[in-house]
Amino acid sequence: QVQLQESGPGLVKPSETLSLTCTVSGGSISSYYWSWIRQPPGKGLEWIGYIYYSGSTNYNPSLKSRVTISVDTSKNQFSLKLSSVTAADTAVYYCARARLGYYGSGSTYYYYMDVWGKGTTVTVSS
């Protein structure tokens, strides 16, 4: 059974770069899409972006200028970097396996996350 585990600093200073890694165990990172989602304290879910195991990415336009998601298939890991952080970036960050695309020749897009990590809390504060 595939399991995901987020890791990284729990405290980041304002203006610095937040860096998190998600380690995939119990299965291969290959042939799947992988997402990052965050949840500010007491608020809802926000999509950050996804990466395909081959390295292609897609980011939330609202975060695109600050986000980089990368993958290391040799380590079965993918990572998130968010630059120039502020207090508004304080949140629980989740990594998840994503299923997305079009079925057959259809035009209806599907995107859902079927396996989630437990999440890691990142606080932005000096």
Partner 1 sequence: QSVLTQPPSVSAAPGQKVTISCSGSSSNIGNNYVSWYQQLPGTAPKLLIYDNNKRPSGIPDRFSGSKSGTSATLGITGLQTGDEADYYCGTWDSSLSALVFGGGTKLTVL
77-82 sheet: strands from edge to edge: 3-7, 18-25, 77-82, 67-72
Q: How many CB atoms lie within 10 A of CB 5?
A: 14
With CB under 8 A, what is the number of residues at the site for partner 1? 25
Q: How many CB atoms lie within 10 A of CB 45?
A: 12
Q: Which stretch binds partner 1 (CB under 8 A): 7-15, 19-27, 72-80, 100-108?
A: 100-108
Q: Which is nearer to partner 1, 39 or 83 (CB)?
A: 39
Task: Decide: is 26 part of the binding site for partner 1 (CB under 8 A).
Answer: no
Closest CA to 124 of 20, 54, 1, 32: 20
CB environment 46-78: b (16+ within 10 A), e (fewer): ebbbbbbbeeeebbeeebeebbbbebeeeebbb
Task: Decide: is 104 part of the binding site for partner 1 (CB under 8 A).
Answer: no
Q: Which is nearer to partner 1, 74 or 109 (CB)?
A: 109
* Least separation in angstroms between CB 112 and partner 1: 4
Task: Decide: is 105 part of the binding site for partner 1 (CB under 8 A).
Answer: no
**x/- map, 54-93, partner 1, by CB under 8 A:** ----x-xxx-------------------------------
The residues that touch partner 1, with contacts defined as CB under 8 A, are 35, 37, 44-47, 58, 60-62, 94, 99-100, 107-114, 116-119
